[in-house]
Each structure stands twice: as C-alpha cells, then as structure tokens.
C-alpha cells in the first residue's frame, strides 16, 4: 500500500453528510493536524516533553501519519512536565485554539478520559460518549487528547488496588455529574490519589496511563517499560516531525497485538486489520466551519 493508496482510502471514510456535502475522516484529520502543529510548537519552545501514543503511534509505524480511518490524535505528557505544559499553553497557545482541563475549569471530567483536551476555535464535534458529556462552557471544538503518563507500580496487585479506589468512586461521580451536581471534591480526591501514587512509584521501571483511567489492566497495553518509552524520539508524521515512543514498534505490539504492524506480501505492505473494523469510532457529528452542529446554524 503506497502513499497514494492511503490518501484514496482516507477519502472513502465518511463521518457525516450535511446539506448534501460529505465530511470525511481526512477532512477532520487535516484540521486536527493544525492543533498538533501548534502543540508541537508550544512544547518545543518551552522544553515540554510529549509523545504521540496509542493509535497515533501505530499510525507512525504503519503509515508515517494517520491511520486512514483514525479520527483523533492522542498525546502523553510526563507527570513532571504537566504543570509546565499548562503554563506554556496559558502563555503561548495561539488565539485560534483553547484547552480544557481541571486546572482551568472545574467542570472538566476528571475520570474516564484524557487529562486535557486541546481544541480549535470555530469548529464543533460531537463525540461518542454514553456516560459523561462535556460540561465545559468554553466549547466543543475538534481536539487532540492529552494524557498524563505516570509512574506505575511494578506489582500488578498494588496497581490494581490503587485503580480500584477510582473504580469504586466512578459510578457516584458519573451519577452526580449527570444530574447536574459537579463532584468537585471527589475530582480533587482522585487527582490527589493519582499524584501520590505516581510519587510513591518514582523509582519504578514502568510508566503508563494515569490511574484516573481505572479500567486499564496491568501489563495489557497502556503500561510499559520506561526504557521502551523514554527518551521520546522524533518520527515522520504527515510530512512533519513529531515525538513518540523510543521503541514504537514494540509498544504498538503490546497495545494492539503482535499482528498490528503492516505485513509485506511479496509486492507491497498491506494492512492487517480486517476491513470490517476499519472505521472511525469517536465522532458522531462534525462541523469544521462553525461552533455548532450545522443543522442548528
């Protein structure tokens, strides 16, 4: 599969159709890329370490860019750089963008998702989200997700016990949020719990998703050896350079299985994921030229 095949394939993934015009995954990817360009600029200027993770990292390994049907970008920020990252965004982020996190809006969801969303103004996206809707009043623009990467205990039982604290609190937090009560004290507690957990495990050899994502199982993706994650390296991505894992192929296999990387069939590199599973999975509705659904304009 050459680059032209990838581009053609991307154009065939339709997210929605408005006023007779199809909005494709590729349309969204090109807009999301402008957010990532800005985040890279701000991080480079302020010496903040970041890395493309999850499906975005797999896209680097297989396509040197987006997976053709992937409709988002995910990055991680190291725990020790998190406060510096927020300061950098407050100081240097272009006026074309804005960000949402608990530090700047207490309505931001503290569990079940990213630690921050960095969004583009004058756009709108509705995500697949059955439990917690965005309560931040600043908007629902298209975004990239930013997640804290924390130190993880090497003992799976200790790790599970700490995640269980968040699992127990999660139903109550979701219930309160959905009836219009912002559980700020519970949000503060789970954030403090995650911070203390990471601090206690500073000398651990493992790193991965913050424990406010409590469903992530130990050694089943999202937790990795630090030597495979760090130091972050620059890779080609859509004609520019972005950072990702030190050993991107190994971590991609840990995340998505040993057959996630493209295979050589004797003539070309081919995608191994079944066609039936090649579809965008995060987006319900989209407007790239306004901050409301097109039908409401």
The answer to whether residue 250 sits within a structural domain is: yes
The answer to whether residue 188 sits within a structural domain is: no
Digit-coded pLDDT (tens) for 171-214: 999 999 989 999 999 999 999 999 999 999 999 999 999 998 87
pLDDT of res. 9:
63
Digit-coded pLDDT (tens) for 78-133: 999 999 999 999 999 999 999 999 999 999 987 877 899 999 999 999 988 767 78
Q: What domain range is 130 assigned to?
A: 3-150+225-292
The answer to whether residue 209 sits within a structural domain is: no
Question: What total number of domains does the chain contain?
Answer: 1
Q: Which residue has the tokens 């990252």?
A: 85
- Strand-pair partners of 241: 236
pLDDT of res. 1:
43
pLDDT of res. 282:
85
Angle between helices 54-63 and 248-256 (to 10 degrees): 120
The answer to whether residue 219 sits within a structural domain is: no
Q: Tell me the average pLDDT of the chain.
A: 90
Domain of 105: which CATH number?
A: 3.30.460
The answer to whether residue 259 sits within a structural domain is: yes
The answer to whether residue 190 sits within a structural domain is: no
pLDDT of res. 21:
85
The answer to whether residue 66 sits within a structural domain is: yes
The answer to whether residue 184 sits within a structural domain is: no
């Amino acid at each position: 599969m050459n680059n032209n095949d990838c581009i053609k394939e991307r154009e065939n993934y339709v997210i929605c159709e408005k006023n007779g015009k199809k909005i494709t995954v590729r349309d969204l990817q090109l807009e999301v890329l402008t957010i990532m360009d800005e985040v890279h600029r701000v991080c480079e200027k302020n010496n903040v370490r970041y890395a493309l993770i999850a499906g975005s990292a797999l896209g680097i390994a297989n396509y040197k860019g987006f997976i053709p049907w992937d409709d988002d970008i995910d990055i991680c920020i190291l725990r020790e750089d998190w406060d510096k990252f927020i300061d950098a965004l407050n100081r240097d982020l272009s006026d074309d963008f804005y960000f949402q996190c608990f530090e700047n809006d207490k309505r931001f969801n503290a569990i079940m998702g990213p630690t921050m969303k960095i969004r583009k103004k004058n756009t709108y996206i509705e995500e697949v989200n059955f439990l917690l809707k965005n309560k931040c009043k600043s908007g629902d623009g298209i975004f990239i997700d930013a997640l804290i990467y924390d130190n993880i205990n090497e003992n799976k039982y200790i790790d599970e016990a700490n995640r269980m604290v968040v699992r127990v609190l999660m139903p109550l937090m979701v219930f309160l949020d959905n009836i219009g009560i912002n559980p700020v004290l519970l949000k503060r507690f789970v954030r403090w719990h995650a911070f203390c957990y990471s601090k206690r495990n500073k000398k651990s050899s493992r790193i991965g998703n913050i424990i406010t994502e409590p469903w992530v199982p130990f050694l089943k993706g999202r937790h990795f050896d630090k030597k495979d994650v760090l130091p972050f390296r620059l890779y080609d991505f859509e004609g520019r350079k972005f950072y990702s894992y030190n050993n991107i192929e190994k971590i991609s296999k840990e995340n998505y299985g040993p057959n996630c990387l493209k295979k050589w069939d004797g003539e070309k590199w081919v995608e191994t994921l079944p066609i039936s599973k090649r579809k965008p999975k995060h987006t319900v509705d989209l407007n790239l030229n306004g901050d409301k659904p097109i039908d409401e304009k």
